[in-house]
Amino acid sequence: MVTAAGSGHPGGSLSAADIVAALYFQVLQHNPADPKWPGRDRFILSKGHCAPVLYAALARSGYFPVKDLVNLRQIDCHLQGHPDMHKTPGVEISSGSLGQGLSVSIGMALAMRLDNLPGRIFTLMGDGESQEGEVWEAAMAASHYKLNNLTAIIDANGLQIDGFTCDVMNIEPLPEKFAAFGWNTLVIDGNNMEQVVDALERSRTAAGPAAIIARTVKGKGVSYMENNAGWHGKAPKAGEAEQALAELTGEEIRESREKVGS
């Protein structure tokens, strides 16, 4: 997607890929045939620049054709550089202005409580994004209202566009901070599928808001992208994309697919 568009954000999309895959194919109660089903869980991508990973999950889930993915960021396509709730089926909010997703999620969680709806809000945030003051105002509000239908997942890959988060504006210790704000807090390896699924499922039974600090690797699975802030918002060229796909799928898998023409 990002290579075809010539722009986009591969690093943070890859660090969050396990989390998003776990949500859409194991954890979320959702229905691609009825995206506005009232009883659904809601997923909020607060770090909206990582739209490619959301679009991939939505397409593979059946919200729109997979062939649409190559039109990322094209004029008149529904797959904009940041998610647009008015254009893309399955997108709950338009996002991209960092720091706002958790506040929106609290509003949704309160509304669902008032309407006696069973669904849960899952919100994916960046660790660099957590430098925004609005995040901590929202953290106070979620605890104050005892929102037991809200899970925040922090994709803690340690990098943002300007470098390491600890150098730009240190936000650690994240687990202790969320716990101090009254959240039920878990720390996991966010690139370990078993841990991700277990934490997401356990968060459903938390007495109040749940925070999952997911320690991840930016650019996970692509050797030249891993832990490299330069790939925060840079599109791979064709040869680089081919190498990335080979590393992500494994050469032997690609060769077997080519042999059977799939």
86-130: per-residue pLDDT in tens? 999 999 999 989 999 999 999 999 999 999 999 999 999 999 999
**Contact criterion met (CB below 8 Å) for 129 and 123:** no
pLDDT at 262 over 90: no
200-218: per-residue pLDDT in tens? 999 999 999 999 999 999 9
| Partners of 212 in the β-ladder | 153, 186
**Residue 144: per-residue pLDDT:** 98
Neighbours of 107 (CB within 10 A): 13
166-211: per-residue pLDDT in tens? 999 999 999 999 999 999 999 999 999 999 999 999 999 999 999 9
pLDDT at 234 over 70: yes
pLDDT at 58 over 70: yes
Homologous superfamily (CATH) of 2-260 is Thiamin diphosphate (ThDP)-binding fold, Pyr/PP domains (3.40.50.970)
**Residue 190: per-residue pLDDT:** 98
Which helix (H) or strand (E) segment holds residue 166: the answer is helix 165-169
**Residue 188: per-residue pLDDT:** 98
